[in-house]
Structure 1
Amino acid sequence: MNWDQIEGNWKQVKGNVKEQWGKLTDDDLDVIAGKRDQLAGKIQEAYGVTKDDADKQLSDWQKTQKDTDRYSRDMDD
């Protein structure tokens, strides 16, 4: 799933974000509204990691969303 899809489906995706980064509040996620840079910044703040670490975590997580998206499409067939 590319980031435009994540942003467009933010209401559905933010539950997955909350599972991955449980320290982020619902208010944080509402303010982020799918913006990757804002999410990376909140991950940095909440977990005390570098920008590079936050970006890597997001990239890794995004790959799992792609797999989930592919799985759900396969189920629809």
Structure 2
Amino acid sequence: MTTKQELSGKWKSIAGAVKKKYGAITDNDLRRAEGDLNQLAGLIQQKTGQSREQIEAFFDECCASNDSLAGQAQQLASGATESLREGYSQATEQARRGYESTVKTMSRHPLESTGAALGLGLIVGVLVGLSIGAQRERDLAWHQRWGR
């Protein structure tokens, strides 16, 4: 039979399984017996006529299936963690190779690299400036724009 400590985390799933298997057990019955398997077993026995052993075996099945579900969830979580680690390692390696390639290219062609960086920076700066100016223009009231 399941101990009270084991039951505390499994009550909701046991209650759901009881409602599914024993339609005669109501929500009020479950609320009255909450956390007390002996009382719940007595209610089931009274309403269904099943033996105490059958009811206790059913409770044990419920708890065992919960344990196997928890084990499956844990396996899935550990598999996901491993996949994340693998992906992180691959991304790190790819970034390292990209960095090394960039350093090599810049050391072979320093003037071209500097010119390209300067040109790209100039283009980005102009685009950001235009964007900020356009936003400020939109923020002006119509009479402020009219007076310009």
Q: Which runs of 5+ in 1 are unaligned?
A: none
Q: 1:12 to 1:61 in 2, by over 3 A?
A: closer
Q: Aligned partners of 2:61, 2:38: CA distance in 1, in Å?
A: 17
Partner of 2:57 in structure 1?
59
SS of the residue 1:14 aligns to: helix
Using the size of structure 2 for normalisation, the TM-score is 0.42
Higher relative contact order (CA 8 A, sep 6+): 1
Larger Rg: 1 or 2?
2
Q: Which runs of 5+ in 2 are unaligned?
A: 76-148
C-alpha RMSD of matched pairs (Å): 2.3
SS of the residue 2:35 aligns to: coil
Using the size of structure 1 for normalisation, the TM-score is 0.71
Q: 1:8 to 1:74 in 2, by over 3 A?
A: closer
Please give the residue correspondences for 1:1-77 in structure 2 after superposition, counting only pairs within 5 Å: 2-4=2-4, 5-49=6-50, 53-77=51-75
Q: 1:12 to 1:63 in 2, by over 3 A?
A: closer
Number of residue pairs matched by the alignment:
74
Q: Aligned partners of 1:45, 1:2: CA distance in 2, in Å?
A: 21
User: Can you list the C-alpha shifts for 1:31-72, whole angstroms capped at 9, x where unaligned?
Assistant: 1012121011101211134xxx13322223412421332233
After TM superposition, what 4+ stretches of structure 1 lie above 3 angstroms from structure 2? none
